[in-house]
Structure 1
Amino acid sequence: MKPLDVGRLNKQIILISFKPGKDRLHQDIREPVESKPIWATVKPQRGSEPYEAGKKQPEQQYTVTIRYRNGVTTDMLVKYGEKILQIESCVDVEEEHYMIELQCTEKEGAR
């Protein structure tokens, strides 16, 4: 196992998962559940502007690196300051269970 350079983990994020629940009208909803703050490295990658219904929709992509933890999936969100990032992929770096790289996308207007 390679040692993790914890000095690089200098930003705090919160992982948001969802649990099933019911609203006042007994309709099914997904209730957000926030983790405790997690130390991470957050690096902006590149922006893109995909077209949706004939309009540009700006996106910013990020690579978020955290210590390994079980249960991190693409169904979760990352809260970084005021930004909400959608997890596109989770990679167990070198499959050694010491670090996870999350490829995330922030869509403009998701704040």
Structure 2
Amino acid sequence: MMGWTSKLFVFAVLITLMGCFTGALGNFRRPTRVGVNCCKEVSNARIPAKISLIGYKHQNALDPCVEAIIFYTANEKYCSDPKARWISHRMKGLKEIKD
């Protein structure tokens, strides 16, 4: 039979182990879901002059995203082909948006 000091020692060890496990679980953070929010295709079509643009961003190609110039309005974004001839003209005077 175990004496009361041995039982106390086993109890103390169990409490310590439980503290280690619950502490480790408390620090565990579930990974957040990252949705891919990028241009997966681009258009060569001009954005009409009547559409008021507020800025642009250059997007590098990193699968599934493609290389693009993203033009922003107050409510929408347009994925445009950076090689289209009209792009540089439309970018003039716009603020480049940084991440």
TM-score between the two structures when normalised by the length of structure 1: 0.22
Higher helix share: 2
Higher strand share: 1
TM-score between the two structures when normalised by the length of structure 2: 0.23
